[in-house]
Chains A and B, each alone.
Chain A
Amino acid sequence: MIAEAGHYALVLALGLALIQSTVPILGARWGDAALMNVARSTALAQLVFTLASFLALITLHVTSDFSVVNVFENSHSMKPLIYKITGVWGNHEGSMLLWVSILALFGGLVAAFGNNLPLSLRAHVLAVQAWVASAFYLFILMTSNPFLRIINPPLEGRDLNPVLQDPGLAVHPPMLYLGYVGFSISFSFAIAALLEGRIDAAWARWVRPWTLLAWIFLTLGIAMGSYWAYYELGWGGWWFWDPVENASLMPWLAGTALLHSAVVMEKRNALKVWTILLSILTFSLSLLGTFLVRSGVLTSVHAFASDPKRGVFILLILCIFIGGSLTLYAWRASALKQGGLFAPISREGALVLNNLFLTTACATVFVGTLYPLALEVTTGQKISVGAPFFNLTFAPLFVPLMLAVPFGPLLAWKRGDLLGAAQRLFAAGVAALVAIAVLWAWTWGGSTLAPLAIGLAVFVVAGALSDLAERTGLFRVPFGTAVRRARGLPRSSWGTVFAHAGVGIALMGIVCETTWNSEYIGSMKTNDVAHVAGYALKFDGLTQRQGPNFQEVAAQFEVSLDGKWLSTMKPSKRSFTTRGSTITEAALLTRGASQLYISLGDIAADGTIAVRIYHKPMVLLIWFGPVLMAFGGMLSLSDRRLRVGAPKPARVPRSLQPAE
């Protein structure tokens, strides 16, 4: 009954979504408040039914009901409870159900907390949201139904792909989906604005929390996924420029651009048409990501066994939504009124520059990801575009962006003073130069690029701090006053500081890890000692262990530094009998922000093991940076104040200007 009730709930959600996607729009057209209000109650009911459906699927997985095909194919009665639950979205059907649940969740949130929206705008937004939802409900019911049954249920399931049996699965996909799907709200707002034919600063104010929320989740989701790949795949790599990773990076880049352009729009009523376009593009890229991962055109850990019918269906959804929204944009955008003016050197100008680089970088990722597909379709030629391509295109575009980041917050709205900003960044520049000089001397003869890149990162972090010092008047006014000012500073300003510093810190981690990591690859016998980056790792022998649904062979390593014992590390190999596959579980030892990383290769009959040991300096900064960015986002999200970009009036003597 649970299975069928869950199935029926999903069907009802589709019915409600269809009503929600038409009735409110008619209501808005005819000015009928009752019809417009239908959007709200249907969105909430849709959320209830979708959640019920999702909970039903979780229940089925937890109780190991193998009469449900999805449970049979992806679960096993011996699987630990947490993986029974996370396994729900560790497969195609279940993850699509999670996708629509989150879509319904965002729709429900707008319905519940959207009282500050004009009635017709809310009706339009929820209707557009329901269009997307209807398409995906249909997709699930027709091609990826998680509630199909087996008449003669087998006694045991086929188990979940062992690589996915990891706590990472509990967090990474839901986070990523909250990000992907969250951008559907900005998309719906953009389409609603185009349908209504009016857009102004208030629009940006309304859409801000939603964009920010999605961006925070996407940032954390990507970082989480990267860390998961780092420790689970056993290769010590944290970013592979894999098409699936790119599929999540593209909406992030576009979303980051959207976040910044929406600030300009909210405060200065400018860049309106561009912001609308970015909203559409960001969600389109999210859809594209879903298509790439779900259609089976790509192969990776993320690609669940695929069915061409699904690919065609998603491609259809993609074409309808992206094509339709861009057509609507082309048709209606010219009718939107242009807004405020600004000089090229100004806060607005800096944000335009930010947008320019972010979208261009996004475009290069887009080209690198889709070019092989396009080439294969047109010529049949198979190529792979790997890390070198992205390093050569993405990195050069990010350098000027990073250089510009500290300047942005220091420029005034409408017309800025580049020289003044540069003066205020003097200290940050000095810090960067000192860092470069010190590193250069320290790693004499090593990489020339790395110290420069670290210097850039230091500049970004110090720049963010200088901005803070400027705003509070630190070192200029008495300390107490500065603290008082810091407290009074809007939380969104604090958010900017943290997010920008996060970018610099992530860059530091990336440069350190790629430049100065050291590795040892070789075979070891019992009592052999490997030396990596000053650490001595002694191999103590193998032990066997029986897990709930796997067998494990663990190697024990005693780690010491300068003859002093530090810790024991136990990398292992797990054999999962049901799927007959083996996976490597790497062992990690964290020292400050650096990590030692051991991953096992083949184990020979005589107890000799092939082993890969890495020392990864400052590697944790790579993920700490994004966490800091997300924290900045949360600070900004918690700031309920209205934001006003007080423009700098013309012709005011410089001496009269206080700090902003």
Chain B
Amino acid sequence: MTRKQRRLTIIGGSLTVLAVAVALVLNAMRGSIVFFSTPVMVSEEHIPPGKRFRLGGLVEKGSLVHGDNLAVAFKVGDGSATLPVTYKGILPDLFREGQGVVAEGALDASGVFRADTVLAKHDETYMPKEVADALKKQGHWKDDYGEKSHTTEAQAGPSTSGVSGATQGVSQ
């Protein structure tokens, strides 16, 4: 083989691998990409039942219902619309009513979102970024929503009799 032929072989090989990779990427892009929606987007866009997407929003206060055998139902809202969600399994530690959530799944025929995954990963402000962005866009975002309100909630937890506090108050 001459030098030129060798180089051609190598270049040809590289191009083949690259072409295969591009084909793989394009193929995977078509089948395995999941879009993100909020309840109001779902109500406007008429996503067909069975199409997978990610739903993000706030878990409506008081909507969480525990059923038998780890089945749960709750509502996800974004300030404009709400969507009922069902899920079977264990909810992540950071799942709370009134907090942000991202669930992956599809709508069923009756318009209920059947989630097969409820995402556990949030950053420390307990607000998934997608949800925060979507809420901001719709004007339902309060800047102090994230960490601050969370700490407040934690600290406002049940307090005991308060008597020793009173003792101090008098003695001062």
Contacts and interface: CB of A to CB of B under 8 A. Distances in A.
Interface in B59-87: 66, 69-70
- Is chain A's interface secondary structure helix, strand, loop, or mixed overall? mixed
Contacts of B66: 602
Interface stretch (A210-218, A350-358, A457-465, A474-482): A350-358
Given A233-B120, A299-B123, A393-B21, A388 B28 contact: yes
A573 B92 CA distance: 12
Contacts of B125: 305
A521 interface: yes
Contacts of A577: 154
A305 B147 contact: yes
Contacts of B44: none
A405 to B, nearest CB: 16
A612 B90 contact: yes
A579 B123 contact: no
A235 interface: yes
A382 interface: yes
A305 B122 contact: no
A514 interface: no
Interface string A318-349: 00000000000000000000000111100001
Contact of A384 (B18, B25, B27, B34): B34
Contacts of A234: 92-93, 120
B33 A385 contact: yes
Nearest to B129: A299
Interface stretch (A253-261, A440-448, A580-588, A637-645): A580-588
Given A304-B124, A392-B24, A392-B27, A610 B6 contact: no
B6 A299 contact: no
Contacts of B54: 384
Contacts of B89: 521, 601, 612
B128 A299 contact: yes
A364 interface: yes
B105 to A, nearest CB: 13
Given A388-B31, A396-B24, A356 B90 contact: no
B93 A583 contact: yes
A386 interface: yes
Contacts of A368: 25, 28
Interface string B84-118: 00000111111000000000000000000000000
A522 B69 contact: yes
Q: Which of A357, A363, A581 has the most CB of B within 10 A?
A: A581
A597 B33 CA distance: 30
A656 interface: no
Contact of A580 (B33, B129, B155): B155
Interface string B1-37: 1010010011001100110110011011101111110
A357 B13 CA distance: 11
B139 interface: no
A161 B124 contact: yes
A529 interface: no
A158 B123 CA distance: 16
B14 A356 contact: yes
> Which among B3, B18, B25, B124 has the highest number of chain A CB atoms within 10 Å?
B124
Interface in A556-610: 573, 577-584, 599, 601-602, 610
B14 A305 contact: no
B27 A382 contact: no
B70 A610 contact: yes
A383 interface: yes
A578 B89 CA distance: 28
B10 A386 contact: no
Highest count of chain B CB atoms <10 Å: which of A383, A393, A573: A393
A246 interface: no
Interface in A347-393: 349, 352-353, 356-357, 360-361, 363-364, 367-368, 371, 381-386, 388-390, 392-393
B34 A344 contact: no
Contacts of B154: 577-581
Contacts of A573: 93
A612 B124 CA distance: 24
Contacts of A305: 123-125, 147
A301 interface: yes
B51 interface: no
B157 A580 contact: yes
Contacts of A493: none
Contacts of A382: 35-36, 130, 133
Contacts of B70: 521-523, 601, 610
Most A-side CB within 10 Å, residue of B1, B17, B66:
B17
The winner among A343, A371, A381, A383 for most chain B CB atoms within 10 A is A383
A48 interface: no
A231 to B, nearest CB: 14
B153 interface: yes
Contacts of B129: 298-299
Question: In the complex, which of the residues B31, B33, B122 has the most CB atoms of chain A within 10 Å of its own CB atom?
Answer: B33
A536 to B, nearest CB: 20
B33 A383 contact: yes
A195 interface: no
A579 B151 contact: yes
Given A389-B29, A522-B70, A612-B90, 7 more contacts: A301-B123, A356-B17, A382-B133, A385-B32, A388-B31, A393-B28, A577-B154
29 contacts: A233-B121, A234-B92, A234-B93, A234-B120, A298-B129, A299-B123, A301-B121, A303-B123, A305-B125, A344-B13, A352-B10, A356-B13, A368-B25, A382-B36, A383-B33, A383-B35, A384-B36, A388-B31, A388-B32, A389-B33, A397-B17, A523-B69, A580-B150, A580-B157, A581-B94, A601-B90, A602-B66, A602-B91, A611-B90
Interface of A: 158, 161, 233-235, 240, 242, 298-301, 303-305, 341-344, 349, 352-353, 356-357, 360-361, 363-364, 367-368, 371, 381-386, 388-390, 392-393, 396-397, 521-523, 573, 577-584, 599, 601-602, 610-612
Nearest 6 interchain pairs by C-beta: A580-B154, A601-B90, A388-B32, A382-B36, A299-B129, A392-B28
